Amino acid sequence: MKIQQKLALVCCVAALAAAPAFFIAAHAADNSTQADSSAKPKKRTVKVDINSASSAELQTLKGIDEAAADKIIQNRPYASITQLVSKAGLTKAAYNDIKDEVDAKKPADNSSSKSNKNKGNNTNKNKGNTNKGKRR
């Protein structure tokens, strides 16, 4: 009987010794959950460009599913992000949810490459004209 009493006493002491550690760990986990739920969502450091983002990138925005992302892509280019409502059909509520996370950068301007081609053509025409004017 004495062995059983000693064993019970050891179990009780072990349980009492472990209890504070258990409650501290449980309390810490509880606090971190509360802190996470009260914290504001982190804002993006880089805005999503609606004129060049992929469907997957657009779907990372709140309220943008695959269908909305595809509609945004189909209606490009956008001069400003406000056109997401008029061109892509986003609701004002959805727009308000993402307006701080998106940007409408100007599409790449190809006119400079066209003007270079034209300059090349004009240069060739001028060279051709100068050759025609020479007598042989």
- Does a structural domain hold residue 21? no
In a domain, 89, yes or no: yes
In a domain, 65, yes or no: yes
The enclosing domain of 77 has a CATH number of 1.10.150.320
- Is 5 within the bounds of a domain? no
Its domain, for residue 68, covers: 48-103
Asked whether residue 31 is assigned to any structural domain, the reply reads no
Per-residue pLDDT of the chain in tens (136 residues, 90 and over written 9): 677 777 666 655 666 666 565 556 555 555 554 544 444 456 668 999 999 999 999 999 999 999 999 999 999 999 999 999 999 999 999 999 999 999 999 876 655 444 444 444 554 545 555 555 556 5
Question: Is 13 part of a structural domain of the chain?
Answer: no
Q: Cα(55)–Cα(73) distance, rounded to whole angstroms? A: 7
In a domain, 41, yes or no: no
For the chain, the farthest-separated pair of C-alpha atoms sits apart, in whole angstroms, at 132
The residue behind tokens 């258990």 is 22
- Tokens coding 114: 């066209």
For the chain, the domain total comes to: 1
Flag whether 95 is in a domain.
yes
Under 8 Å between Cβ of 66 and 55:
yes
In angstroms, rounded to a whole number, what is the distance separating the alpha carbons of residues 62 and 74? 19
- Provide φ and ψ at 49, rounded to 5°: -85, 115
Instruction: Assign 3-class secondary structure to 31-90.
Output: HHHHHHHHCCCCCCCCCEECCCCCHHHHCCCCCCCHHHHHHHHHCCCCCCCCHHHHCCCC
